[in-house]
Amino acid sequence: MIGWVLLALLVLLLCLPVGAEVSYGPEGIRVRLVVGPLGVLLYPRPPKPDRRRGGGASGEQKTEQGDAPEHTGSVVDSVKQRYQTSRTAQGKGTWQDTLRRVEQTVPLIAETLGGLRRCICIRTLELEVIWAADNAADAALGFGRAHGVAGMLWPIFDHNFKVKSHRIHIDVDYQAREPVIRIRTAATIAVGQLLAIGCRCGWKVWKIWGANRRPKQHRRHSHERTESSHQ
């Protein structure tokens, strides 16, 4: 019985949609993390309360904190120096191997993005543009251009993603001086689909980046065995 319950919970977890909701308007940009029916605001973050208090203790803490960057800077410099020394010792061949691996990885990235495109579901796509300008002629011209841009953008979403709900509204206000643009979109993908794409992509990347290291390690071990046999 417990096994069936765990299996049902696993299936529900794999089917759980995760994604993000982004909105833009005169008030600014808002980004929310979407996990199933729940949402968590990521940006803008609420202001943190000011917990600073006056007194001698705070001054001592600031003094101690002020001495820390010198030690941190010396550690960072030593790490950078070691990194540069190691990269110089490895030679130019390492960069050529890295470039070859990157060339082999680029088609894989395009394939992964294509898979994500087919799996991503856009729950909501809303675009509202109320165009305005200093004079009526510019307002009418901008209104026509906004209609043209919206007509170009919608086929991109419609042909490449699954859009459940969309609303596009273009209007003009001859009394206002500045246009108002509002955008809100929410996109999700199932956890199971995301894990499947990630595992498949990770396996292929491992074969590209890990397989190229095997010959060097094999040659090194064979060289060590040869030296040991001569001794």
DSSP code per residue over 69-103: HHHHHHHHHHHHHHHHHHHHHH-HHHHHHHHHHHH
Residue pair 34/205 in contact (Cβ under 8 Å)? The answer is no
The count of domains in the chain is: 1
Mean of the per-residue pLDDT values of the chain? 79
Residue 218 lies in a domain: yes
Residue 225 lies in a domain: yes
Q: What percent of the chain has pLDDT over 70?
A: 70
Return d(Cα 185, Cα 21) in angstroms, integer.
Answer: 6
Residue 56 lies in a domain: no
Return d(Cα 6, Cα 13) in angstroms, integer.
Answer: 10
Domain that holds residue 136: 17-44+96-230
pLDDT at position 63: 45
Least confident of 75-84, 100-109, 166-175, 210-219: 210-219
- pTM across the whole model: 0.63
pLDDT tens digits, one per residue of 186-226: 999 999 988 988 888 888 888 887 765 555 445 455 555 55
Residue 181 lies in a domain: yes
pLDDT tens digits, one per residue of 26-64: 999 999 999 988 999 999 987 777 666 554 444 445 444
Residue 66 lies in a domain: no
pLDDT at position 53: 54
Using CA atoms of 207, 100, 86, 82 in order, give the dihedral in degrees to the nearest 10: -80
Residue 186 lies in a domain: yes
Q: Give the residue-averaged pLDDT of 139-149.
A: 93
